[in-house]
Every structure is written in structure tokens, then in C-alpha cells.
């Protein structure tokens, strides 16, 4: 990823271009709570239990020195990234793009080819690691050259039948083989989506039954294996309003096939010494996803380190309570437990479902409460790690959450090279935070979705949603990149 030598005239032209790149208003510095200083966001309301005792002035991550921050990143990559993120920040363009992708035009072969070709050369290349394992391997090597690791995520979303579940399982197994074949320091995890190895329809049925069993412990689930607690006192139950029918013989058989697939993946990963991350999805099916993750985590782990990490979505009101209960139960069983901590990516569908059923949203009432919950869950896991138990992947683009966790880890004396604490950002997002944490000595991964353009479309649409708007997640990154581009052009032309 060395810088290319470009003649001064080109640099002069590019300099002018770079100034135009970021049309966003200058982003005010972020305050301690994770919001931008002068926006109309309400004043922080940290609960006493959510206070994180670190000095906000202490600079653990240095964003001021952009030269150091983007060391090893080529100028062409910076320009491409800035352009793509700039495009994604234009709301009308994102709306139009999403409308086109969902329109009947996509059934017209020529139109579809043109659109997918455009998406491939822009958003896909920016946010995805390649179409197959060969291309992913190359992306991992490039990341490794700048001291970032890869989390390999086969970008398939939902499987529709046993045949497609088997196909996904085979790709997960091949992905684990690829991870093993690459230098061990270059891959942190293989990501598994339970919806790719067990159909969402069955996961929904299982979730309903698991919820009903929680309400009525006499309700018998003959298929249920040993697992960790899936619900807390505060967990919502509106998804299951009437007693569900038991699983049919066919459904039980499909469920067994789902278990078999996950077990095959776990056995392979244990044999290859490759760790697994299980993604979280929406609450209608999340109890079944947690059930799969926890029952496999009980069976497959290393002596004192988890093989498999589940995911907690801090935007859910019951997330912290659920995490604590599951962690405690695992501890009692002597099972090392790892969590990936995210805020959550299904906000609009969660809100829509709850309101359509006439219930309150399961998501915190304000973004500030989500920030507090995330930071408080991170703090709790860091304390656990410092006390010798648990492991966490802090998956976030939020600068303040990154700073707070990094400061806290240092204060607690957690070794920066410890496998128990890792940071992660999505490929193509929050480059400033990834490089800042890397420069501070922490272990940082990029989450690398791969697969053909059509398969990763739902993922790309979620990224477009997240990056839209001038004050979106990417605004701070665009500002840092712009600053570095101008600095490089100044150096080249002076």
C-alpha cells in the first residue's frame, strides 16, 4: 500500500479537487458522549451506574496527526474512499439508489447489468472484500500490511431451504480453511450467520417456542439442548402473542440439520484453531440465534478462551441484562464466554414491527441511551477481562466509545496484545478510528463481507442507510481523509 509517485501538476489539480470533496459543514469536535458538539442532541444523561471513570482529556487515540494516522494508505485509496463516502452522504442519491434496487427495473436484464456494474465499481469495491475466497485472501494481505486483521464474512443473508443451508455451510468451512492458510496474525475470526445455515422461518418458530417456554416453564420443548439463559426480566414478549404449535417432525428434523451444520463448523474451527463470530439479527429470530450460539459455545471451547462469540446489540433495552445473565450462567458452567458488542443495525424494522403490533419499541428511546448502554456493556466486559474472565470484540465506529474503551483498558492494565480485547470496524468505514486504535497499539480488525454483488446487496443497502446524511458516521472520516489528502498534495507541490 505504498504511496504512488504522482507528478506535481496532477497533485495541484487533485488539491483543488480534494478541497471540494467534503462539502459537509466542518464537523465540530465530538463531545464526551459520542455526539457532535453543536448539534441539537440533548445533553447527556448518564445514569450513575453508567458512568465511565476515565479522563476525557487523556489522548489515547491521536486523530490530530493525520500523517501518522494514514501511514501506509495509498493516495489513490484515500481519494476513492472519500469519493464513495461523499456519494453515500447525499441523501437523495441514497434514496434513489435504494428505490432502484427494489424496483421492477431490476427484473430487466440489461438494466440490472448496468446498475450492478455501477454498484460493483463504487460501493461494492469500497465496502466488500471481493467476490470469492481468492479475492478475500488478497484483501486480507493488503490489510495485514497496515497491521489490521480481517474478519471473514461470507455475505449471504438468508437461506431458503436445506440445500442452500448446506451450500452456505460449505462456504463457511472453506472460509475457515482459508483463514488457516493465511498468516495467523492476519485473520481474527470467521463470521457465521445462523440464518445462512437454518432457515429464518424455522428460527422464527423456534424463537416463538423459546419465548413461550420462558413465560410458562411447564411448556415442554423436547428438542431443546443445554444452553445459556436467552431472556431477561426486561425482555419483550410481544412477538409471541398466542401459544405456538410444537415443532412438526419435519421442523425437528430441519432443526437437527441446523445443529449438525453448526457443529461441523465448530469442530473444523477447533481443529484449525480459527475463532468464530455469530452475527445478531432482528429480535423476531434472535432468541433462536442466541440458542444456537450458546449451546455450541457450551460444547466447543478452548481451555480458557471461547471458540465462538455471540453478539449483543446494545440498542435493545434488555441487552445489558441479558448479557450479564448469560455471562454469569456460563461462568457457573465453567464455559469461557465471548461477546461481540454492537449497537444494532435493524432499527427501522424493529420499530415498524413493534408499532404494527401496538407495542413499544424494544430499542432505547434515544440514541443517547443507546450510547450509554454500549459504553456501560463495554465497561462491564473490560472489568471482567481485567478480573480474568471473558472476552470481547468492541465492534463500533463510534469515536467516543472507542476512546472510552481504550482509556478504560489502559487504566485496568489490560494488555493491548491480549486476545481477550479486540476492536473491529466494517471494511470501508471508520478508517480513522481503526488506524487510531492500531497506532495506539490495540488489536483491530476489519469486518470483510465477500460474495457476488447480488448476494451482498442487502448488506450494501444497510451501509448506504448508515452513511447517508452530512452528519452520518462517515463525516468525521471524510474530514480526516480530506485533511490528509490536502497535506499530501501540499508536500508534493511545495
Ligand X SMILES: Cc1cc2nc3c(=O)[nH]c(=O)nc-3n(C[C@H](O)[C@H](O)[C@H](O)COP(=O)(O)OP(=O)(O)OC[C@H]3O[C@@H](n4cnc5c(N)ncnc54)[C@H](O)[C@@H]3O)c2cc1C
Binding footprint of ligand X on the chain (CB under 6 A): 34, 279-280, 311, 313, 315, 342-347, 363-364, 366-367, 370, 395-398, 424-426, 447, 466, 473
Instruction: Residue 75: count other Cβ atoms within 10 Å of its Cβ.
Output: 20
DSSP-derived secondary structure letter, 4: P
Which triple of cell numbers denotes residue 397?
A: 465506529
- H or E segment to which residue 313 belongs: strand 308-313
For residue 239, the minimal CB distance to ligand X (Å) is 17
Residue 229 or 310 with smaller CB distance to ligand X? 310
For residue 108, the minimal CB distance to ligand X (Å) is 32
Residue 115 or 378 with smaller CB distance to ligand X? 378
Residue 377 or 492 with smaller CB distance to ligand X? 377
For residue 310, the minimal CB distance to ligand X (Å) is 9
- What whole-number distance in Å separates Cα of residue 25 and Cα of residue 159? 43
Residue 150 or 244 with smaller CB distance to ligand X? 150
For residue 486, the minimal CB distance to ligand X (Å) is 26
Q: Which residues of 375-395 are buried (b: 16+ CB within 10 A; e: fewer)?
A: bbbbbbbbebbbeebbbbbbb
- What whole-number distance in Å separates Cα of residue 89 and Cα of residue 351? 23
For residue 203, the minimal CB distance to ligand X (Å) is 15
Residue 146 or 221 with smaller CB distance to ligand X? 146
- How would you classify the pairing of strands 276-278 and 444-450? unpaired
- What whole-number distance in Å separates Cα of residue 404 and Cα of residue 380? 12
Length of the chain in residues, anyone? 494
Residue 398 or 443 with smaller CB distance to ligand X? 398
Residue 77 or 397 with smaller CB distance to ligand X? 397
- What whole-number distance in Å separates Cα of residue 441 and Cα of residue 344? 27
Residue 373 or 485 with smaller CB distance to ligand X? 373
**Coil/strand/helix, residue 195:** helix
For residue 485, the minimal CB distance to ligand X (Å) is 23
Q: Report which of 384, 326, 316, 310 is spatially closest to residue 351, judged by C-alpha positions.
A: 316
For residue 430, the minimal CB distance to ligand X (Å) is 7
Residue 18 or 27 with smaller CB distance to ligand X? 27
Residue 143 or 492 with smaller CB distance to ligand X? 143
For residue 402, the minimal CB distance to ligand X (Å) is 9
Q: Report which of 160, 165, 190, 326 is spatially closest to residue 256, judged by C-alpha positions.
A: 165
For residue 161, the minimal CB distance to ligand X (Å) is 23
- What whole-number distance in Å separates Cα of residue 62 and Cα of residue 406? 12
Residue 41 or 90 with smaller CB distance to ligand X? 41
Beta carbons within 8 Å of 76's beta carbon, 6+ residues apart: 4
For residue 274, the minimal CB distance to ligand X (Å) is 17
Unique residue bearing C-alpha cell 450462567: 329
Beta carbons within 8 Å of 158's beta carbon, 6+ residues apart: 195, 196, 199, 200
Secondary structure percentages of the chain, helix, strand, coil, to 5? 55, 10, 35
- What whole-number distance in Å separates Cα of residue 401 and Cα of residue 406? 8
Q: Report which of 309, 367, 299, 315 is spatially closest to residue 340, judged by C-alpha positions.
A: 309
For residue 91, the minimal CB distance to ligand X (Å) is 16
Q: At what angle do helices 249-272 and 162-181 cross, to 10 degrees?
A: 10
Amino acid at each position: 500500500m505504498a504511496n504512488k509517485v504522482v507528478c506535481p501538476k496532477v497533485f495541484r489539480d487533485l488539491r483543488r479537487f480534494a478541497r471540494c470533496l467534503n462539502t459537509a459543514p466542518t464537523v465540530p469536535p465530538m463531545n464526551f458522549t459520542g455526539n457532535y458538539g453543536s448539534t441539537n442532541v440533548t445533553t447527556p444523561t448518564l445514569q450513575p451506574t453508567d458512568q465511565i471513570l476515565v479522563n476525557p482529556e487523556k489522548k489515547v487515540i491521536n486523530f490530530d496527526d493525520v500523517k501518522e494516522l494514514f501511514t501506509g494508505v495509498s493516495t489513490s485509496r484515500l481519494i476513492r474512499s472519500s469519493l464513495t463516502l461523499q456519494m453515500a452522504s447525499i441523501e437523495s442519491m441514497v434514496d434513489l439508489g435504494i428505490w432502484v434496487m427494489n424496483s421492477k427495473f431490476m427484473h430487466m436484464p440489461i438494466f440490472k447489468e448496468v446498475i450492478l456494474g455501477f454498484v460493483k465499481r463504487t460501493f461494492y469495491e469500497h465496502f466488500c472484500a471481493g467476490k470469492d475466497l481468492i479475492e478475500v485472501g488478497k484483501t486480507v494481505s493488503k490489510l495485514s500490511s497496515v497491521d489490521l486483521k480481517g474478519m471473514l464474512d461470507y455475505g449471504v443473508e438468508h437461506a431458503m431451504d436445506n440445500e442452500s443451508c448446506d451450500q452456505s455451510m460449505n462456504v463457511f468451512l472453506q472460509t475457515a480453511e482459508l483463514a488457516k492458510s493465511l498468516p495467523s496474525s492476519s485473520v481474527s475470526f470467521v463470521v457465521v450467520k445462523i440464518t445462512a445455515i437454518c432457515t429464518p422461518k424455522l428460527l422464527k418458530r423456534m424463537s416463538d417456542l423459546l419465548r413461550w417456554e420462558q413465560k410458562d416453564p411447564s411448556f415442554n420443548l423436547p428438542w431443546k439442548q443445554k444452553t445459556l439463559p436467552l431472556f431477561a426480566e426486561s425482555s419483550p414478549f410481544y412477538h409471541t402473542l398466542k401459544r405456538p404449535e410444537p415443532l412438526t417432525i419435519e421442523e425437528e428434523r430441519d432443526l437437527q440439520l441446523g445443529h449438525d451444520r453448526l457443529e461441523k463448523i465448530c469442530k473444523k474451527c477447533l481443529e484449525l484453531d480459527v475463532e468464530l463470530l455469530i452475527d445478531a439479527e432482528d429480535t423476531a429470530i434472535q432468541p433462536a440465534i442466541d440458542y444456537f450460539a450458546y449451546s455450541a459455545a457450551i460444547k466447543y471451547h478452548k481451555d480458557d478462551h471461547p471458540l465462538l462469540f455471540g453478539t449483543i446489540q446494545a440498542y435493545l433495552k434488555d441487552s445489558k441484562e441479558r448479557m450479564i445473565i448469560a455471562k454469569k450462567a456460563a461462568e457457573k458452567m465453567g464455559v469461557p464466554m465471548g461477546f461481540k458488542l454492537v449497537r444494532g443495525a435493524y432499527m427501522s424494522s424493529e420499530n415498524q414491527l413493534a408499532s404494527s403490533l401496538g407495542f413499544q419499541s424494544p430499542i432505547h428511546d434515544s440514541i443517547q441511551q443507546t450510547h450509554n448502554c454500549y459504553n456501560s456493556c463495554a465497561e462491564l466486559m473490560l472489568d471482567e477481562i481485567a478480573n480474568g474472565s471473558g472476552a470481547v470484540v468492541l465492534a463500533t465506529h463510534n469515536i467516543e466509545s472507542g476512546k472510552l474503551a481504550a482509556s478504560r483498558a489502559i487504566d485496568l492494565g489490560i494488555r493491548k496484545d491480549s486476545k481477550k480485547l479486540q476492536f473491529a470496524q466494517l471494511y470501508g468505514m471508520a478508517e480513522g478510528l481503526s488506524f487510531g486504535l492500531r497506532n495506539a497499539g490495540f488489536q483491530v480488525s476489519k469486518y470483510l463481507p465477500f460474495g457476488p454483488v447480488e448476494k451482498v446487496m442487502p448488506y450494501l443497502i444497510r451501509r448506504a442507510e448508515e452513511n447517508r446524511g452530512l452528519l452520518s458516521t462517515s463525516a468525521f472520516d471524510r474530514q480526516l481523509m480530506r485533511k490528509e489528502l490536502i497535506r499530501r498534495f501540499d508536500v508534493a507541490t511545495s
